[in-house]
Amino acid sequence: MSTVTNILVCGIGGQGVMTASEILAQCAVSQGLDVKKTEVAGMAQRGGVVSSHVRFGPRVLSPAIPAGESDAILGFEPAEAMRWTAELRPGGVAMVNTHPLLPPVVTLGLFPYPDDPVGAMRRAGVNVRDVDAGAIARELGEVRLVNTVMLGAIADHLPFDAALLKETVVARFRARKPELVALNEAAFERGRAAAADAAAA
Protein backbone atom coordinates (compact mmCIF):
# COMPACT_ATOMS: atom_id res chain seq x y z
CA MET A 1 0.00 0.00 0.00
CA SER A 2 1.60 3.26 -1.16
CA THR A 3 -1.10 5.78 -0.23
CA VAL A 4 -2.87 6.93 2.90
CA THR A 5 -6.30 5.44 3.63
CA ASN A 6 -8.82 7.87 5.11
CA ILE A 7 -11.84 6.63 7.07
CA LEU A 8 -14.40 9.03 8.51
CA VAL A 9 -16.52 7.47 11.27
CA CYS A 10 -19.63 9.36 12.38
CA GLY A 11 -22.75 8.88 14.46
CA ILE A 12 -24.39 9.75 17.76
CA GLY A 13 -22.88 9.53 21.23
CA GLY A 14 -23.29 6.08 22.74
CA GLN A 15 -23.20 4.18 19.43
CA GLY A 16 -19.55 3.19 19.74
CA VAL A 17 -18.08 5.58 17.15
CA MET A 18 -14.89 6.16 19.13
CA THR A 19 -14.48 2.48 19.93
CA ALA A 20 -14.80 1.63 16.24
CA SER A 21 -12.17 4.21 15.28
CA GLU A 22 -9.83 2.85 17.97
CA ILE A 23 -10.23 -0.68 16.60
CA LEU A 24 -9.53 0.47 13.05
CA ALA A 25 -6.41 2.27 14.27
CA GLN A 26 -5.23 -0.77 16.28
CA CYS A 27 -5.70 -3.01 13.27
CA ALA A 28 -3.60 -0.71 11.07
CA VAL A 29 -0.87 -0.42 13.74
CA SER A 30 -0.67 -4.23 13.89
CA GLN A 31 0.27 -4.16 10.19
CA GLY A 32 3.17 -1.80 10.83
CA LEU A 33 1.39 1.22 9.37
CA ASP A 34 1.67 4.79 10.54
CA VAL A 35 -1.66 5.82 12.07
CA LYS A 36 -3.16 9.15 13.03
CA LYS A 37 -6.61 9.60 14.60
CA THR A 38 -8.70 12.47 15.86
CA GLU A 39 -12.22 12.88 17.27
CA VAL A 40 -14.84 15.57 17.69
CA ALA A 41 -17.08 14.39 20.51
CA GLY A 42 -19.35 17.38 21.00
CA MET A 43 -22.09 16.38 23.46
CA ALA A 44 -21.32 12.68 23.05
CA GLN A 45 -22.34 11.78 26.57
CA ARG A 46 -25.78 13.29 25.97
CA GLY A 47 -26.46 11.70 22.62
CA GLY A 48 -24.85 14.47 20.59
CA VAL A 49 -23.07 14.05 17.28
CA VAL A 50 -19.67 12.35 17.17
CA SER A 51 -17.11 12.05 14.39
CA SER A 52 -13.64 10.59 14.11
CA HIS A 53 -10.94 10.69 11.44
CA VAL A 54 -8.75 7.59 11.08
CA ARG A 55 -5.79 7.78 8.69
CA PHE A 56 -3.19 5.09 8.04
CA GLY A 57 -0.45 4.35 5.53
CA PRO A 58 3.35 4.22 5.21
CA ARG A 59 3.57 7.78 6.50
CA VAL A 60 0.76 10.00 7.80
CA LEU A 61 1.55 13.63 8.57
CA SER A 62 -1.77 14.88 9.94
CA PRO A 63 -4.69 13.30 11.83
CA ALA A 64 -7.24 15.39 9.93
CA ILE A 65 -8.55 14.06 6.62
CA PRO A 66 -8.17 16.71 3.91
CA ALA A 67 -11.50 18.06 2.64
CA GLY A 68 -13.14 15.73 0.16
CA GLU A 69 -10.57 12.94 0.51
CA SER A 70 -12.32 10.33 2.67
CA ASP A 71 -12.04 6.88 1.10
CA ALA A 72 -14.95 5.67 3.21
CA ILE A 73 -17.58 7.04 5.53
CA LEU A 74 -18.63 4.63 8.24
CA GLY A 75 -21.96 6.09 9.27
CA PHE A 76 -23.55 4.74 12.42
CA GLU A 77 -26.55 7.04 11.94
CA PRO A 78 -28.04 7.83 8.50
CA ALA A 79 -28.58 11.59 8.85
CA GLU A 80 -25.07 12.00 10.22
CA ALA A 81 -23.67 10.02 7.29
CA MET A 82 -25.58 12.26 4.89
CA ARG A 83 -24.20 15.35 6.63
CA TRP A 84 -20.64 14.22 5.93
CA THR A 85 -21.00 13.07 2.31
CA ALA A 86 -19.23 16.13 0.89
CA GLU A 87 -16.07 14.72 2.52
CA LEU A 88 -16.19 11.51 0.44
CA ARG A 89 -13.76 11.34 -2.48
CA PRO A 90 -15.00 10.32 -5.95
CA GLY A 91 -15.23 6.53 -5.96
CA GLY A 92 -15.39 6.32 -2.17
CA VAL A 93 -18.02 4.31 -0.32
CA ALA A 94 -20.48 5.32 2.37
CA MET A 95 -21.32 2.35 4.62
CA VAL A 96 -24.44 3.46 6.46
CA ASN A 97 -26.50 2.03 9.28
CA THR A 98 -30.09 2.73 8.22
CA HIS A 99 -31.50 2.70 11.76
CA PRO A 100 -32.06 6.35 12.82
CA LEU A 101 -31.12 7.65 16.25
CA LEU A 102 -32.32 11.21 16.71
CA PRO A 103 -29.92 13.68 18.37
CA PRO A 104 -31.21 16.16 20.98
CA VAL A 105 -31.32 19.02 18.45
CA VAL A 106 -34.01 17.04 16.60
CA THR A 107 -35.96 15.73 19.60
CA LEU A 108 -36.03 19.25 21.03
CA GLY A 109 -37.53 20.54 17.79
CA LEU A 110 -34.56 22.75 16.91
CA PHE A 111 -33.85 21.03 13.58
CA PRO A 112 -35.94 18.74 11.35
CA TYR A 113 -34.82 15.19 10.63
CA PRO A 114 -34.42 14.45 6.89
CA ASP A 115 -37.15 12.27 5.37
CA ASP A 116 -34.84 9.82 3.59
CA PRO A 117 -31.13 10.39 4.26
CA VAL A 118 -29.93 7.28 2.43
CA GLY A 119 -32.14 8.05 -0.57
CA ALA A 120 -30.87 11.63 -0.64
CA MET A 121 -27.29 10.36 -0.69
CA ARG A 122 -28.05 8.05 -3.59
CA ARG A 123 -29.77 10.81 -5.53
CA ALA A 124 -26.63 12.90 -5.04
CA GLY A 125 -24.59 10.15 -6.69
CA VAL A 126 -22.98 8.78 -3.54
CA ASN A 127 -21.95 5.12 -3.55
CA VAL A 128 -24.05 4.01 -0.55
CA ARG A 129 -24.15 0.56 1.02
CA ASP A 130 -27.01 0.46 3.51
CA VAL A 131 -27.02 -1.96 6.44
CA ASP A 132 -29.69 -2.12 9.13
CA ALA A 133 -27.17 -2.67 11.90
CA GLY A 134 -29.76 -1.84 14.53
CA ALA A 135 -32.02 -4.67 13.39
CA ILE A 136 -29.11 -7.12 13.24
CA ALA A 137 -28.01 -6.15 16.75
CA ARG A 138 -31.53 -6.64 18.09
CA GLU A 139 -31.81 -10.03 16.40
CA LEU A 140 -28.61 -11.04 18.16
CA GLY A 141 -30.07 -9.84 21.45
CA GLU A 142 -27.76 -6.93 22.21
CA VAL A 143 -28.29 -3.40 20.84
CA ARG A 144 -24.71 -2.43 21.72
CA LEU A 145 -23.45 -4.69 18.92
CA VAL A 146 -24.12 -1.99 16.30
CA ASN A 147 -20.46 -0.94 16.18
CA THR A 148 -19.28 -4.54 15.65
CA VAL A 149 -21.89 -5.03 12.92
CA MET A 150 -20.70 -1.87 11.18
CA LEU A 151 -17.04 -2.86 11.46
CA GLY A 152 -17.94 -6.14 9.78
CA ALA A 153 -19.77 -4.17 7.09
CA ILE A 154 -16.73 -2.03 6.23
CA ALA A 155 -14.22 -4.90 6.52
CA ASP A 156 -14.07 -5.74 2.81
CA HIS A 157 -13.45 -2.10 1.88
CA LEU A 158 -10.18 -1.77 3.79
CA PRO A 159 -6.62 -2.47 2.59
CA PHE A 160 -6.08 -5.37 4.98
CA ASP A 161 -7.71 -8.74 5.50
CA ALA A 162 -11.17 -8.85 7.06
CA ALA A 163 -10.03 -11.67 9.36
CA LEU A 164 -7.44 -9.33 10.87
CA LEU A 165 -10.08 -6.71 11.68
CA LYS A 166 -12.35 -9.38 13.15
CA GLU A 167 -9.54 -10.63 15.38
CA THR A 168 -8.84 -7.07 16.55
CA VAL A 169 -12.51 -6.72 17.50
CA VAL A 170 -12.81 -9.97 19.42
CA ALA A 171 -9.43 -9.58 21.14
CA ARG A 172 -10.94 -6.71 23.15
CA PHE A 173 -13.49 -9.12 24.59
CA ARG A 174 -11.31 -12.20 24.93
CA ALA A 175 -9.36 -10.68 27.83
CA ARG A 176 -12.20 -8.81 29.56
CA LYS A 177 -15.48 -10.51 28.69
CA PRO A 178 -14.81 -13.87 27.02
CA GLU A 179 -18.51 -14.75 27.14
CA LEU A 180 -19.11 -12.04 24.50
CA VAL A 181 -16.53 -13.28 21.99
CA ALA A 182 -18.90 -15.56 20.05
CA LEU A 183 -21.62 -12.90 19.98
CA ASN A 184 -19.25 -10.29 18.55
CA GLU A 185 -17.90 -12.76 16.01
CA ALA A 186 -21.48 -13.38 14.87
CA ALA A 187 -22.21 -9.64 14.72
CA PHE A 188 -19.10 -9.00 12.63
CA GLU A 189 -19.99 -11.73 10.12
CA ARG A 190 -23.63 -10.61 9.94
CA GLY A 191 -22.48 -7.07 9.15
CA ARG A 192 -20.07 -8.30 6.52
CA ALA A 193 -22.79 -10.42 4.87
CA ALA A 194 -25.27 -7.54 4.96
CA ALA A 195 -22.76 -5.25 3.22
CA ALA A 196 -22.16 -7.89 0.54
CA ASP A 197 -25.91 -8.16 0.00
CA ALA A 198 -26.18 -4.37 -0.27
CA ALA A 199 -23.40 -4.34 -2.88
CA ALA A 200 -25.20 -6.99 -4.92
CA ALA A 201 -28.60 -5.26 -4.75
46-55 confidence digits (pLDDT tens): 567 889 999 9
pTM reported for the whole predicted model: 0.92
**CB of 136 closer than 8 Å to CB of 190:** yes
Residue 45 pLDDT level (bands cut at 50, 70, 90):
low
Q: What is the pLDDT of residues 159-191, one digit of tens each?
A: 999 999 999 999 988 888 899 999 999 999 999
Query: Could you tell me the domains of the chain?
Result: 5-101+122-200 (3.40.920.10)
Mean pLDDT of the chain: 91
pLDDT at 147 over 90: yes
Mean pLDDT for 81-95 is 95
Mean pLDDT for 121-149 is 95
pLDDT at 193 over 60: yes
pLDDT at 44 over 80: no
Question: Who contacts 80 (Cβ-Cβ below 8 Å, separation ≥6)?
Answer: 10, 11, 12, 49, 51
